[in-house]
Amino acid sequence: MPRVTSPRPRRDLRLRTSSFCSDGDCVGVAIDGDEVRVVDTKSSEALQFTPAEWTAFVAGVKAGEFDLPR
């Protein structure tokens, strides 16, 4: 289960955002040692995941587990 952390990841971390990001309305992901942090670029909080949790989430996204019904 993710934990909410504050403040945002250190400035020296590489925050990756989607190429679809616009007007600062973005979700970013940063690797911080043994943590994966997911941030709303307008917020000061981050969701913190273990690498195993993040890997399982990404696998679920790729498998379509979170797709909305059409």
* pLDDT digits 0-9 by tens, 3-55: 666 555 556 678 888 888 877 778 889 888 899 999 888 876 789 999 999 99
pLDDT at residue 65, rounded to an integer: 97
pLDDT at residue 44, rounded to an integer: 67
* Cα–Cα distance, 42 to 46 (Å, whole number): 11
Q: Specify burial of residue 32 (Cβ count, 10 A radius: 0-12, 13-18, 19+).
A: middle
DSSP helix/strand/coil, 45: coil
Contact 28, 38 (CB under 8 A): yes
Please report, for residues 8, 61, 62, 67, 68, the alpha-carbon distance to residue 29 in angstroms, rounded to integers and kept in the order given. Answer: 11, 15, 17, 20, 23
pLDDT at residue 68, rounded to an integer: 95
Q: Which residue has the higher pLDDT, 44 or 65?
A: 65
